[in-house]
């Protein structure tokens, strides 16, 4: 199980962009497709205080937000500890 989890759907271009950036930054992640798994949708709603948009991202189980928050964290070097060689 990876430390980063992205809640996404199969039709979300920002989800695809988020996954691409995580791969580019060498940050392993797990993907939870909320359009295919009602259990993952329920979990996303609980973790994010009922966020309705994707992507939603957690690190070590803590909700950080979406794409914008992730890129801000990257620009501030707050994701370096998650990168793998």
Residue 1: predicted pLDDT: 85
Residue-number span of the structural domain to which 13 is assigned: 4-82
Q: What percent of the chain has pLDDT over 70?
A: 99
Residue 38: predicted pLDDT: 97
Domain tally, the chain: 1
Question: How far is Cα 27 from Cα 29, in angstroms, rounded to an integer?
Answer: 6
Handedness of CA 71, 13, 41, 49 (dihedral sign): positive
Check which CATH number belongs to the domain holding 26 and give it. Answer: 3.40.30.10
Q: What percent of the chain has pLDDT over 90?
A: 94
**What tens digit of pLDDT does each residue of 30-63 get?**
999 999 999 999 999 999 999 999 999 999 999 9
């Amino acid at each position: 199980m990876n430390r980063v989890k992205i809640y996404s759907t199969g039709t979300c271009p920002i989800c695809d962009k988020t996954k691409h950036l995580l791969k580019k930054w060498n940050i392993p992640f797990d993907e939870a497709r909320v359009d295919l798994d009602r259990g993952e949708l329920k979990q996303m709603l609980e973790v994010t205080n009922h966020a309705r948009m994707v992507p939603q991202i957690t690190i070590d189980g803590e909700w950080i937000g979406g794409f914008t928050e992730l890129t801000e964290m990257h620009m501030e070097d707050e994701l370096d500890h998650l990168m793998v060689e």
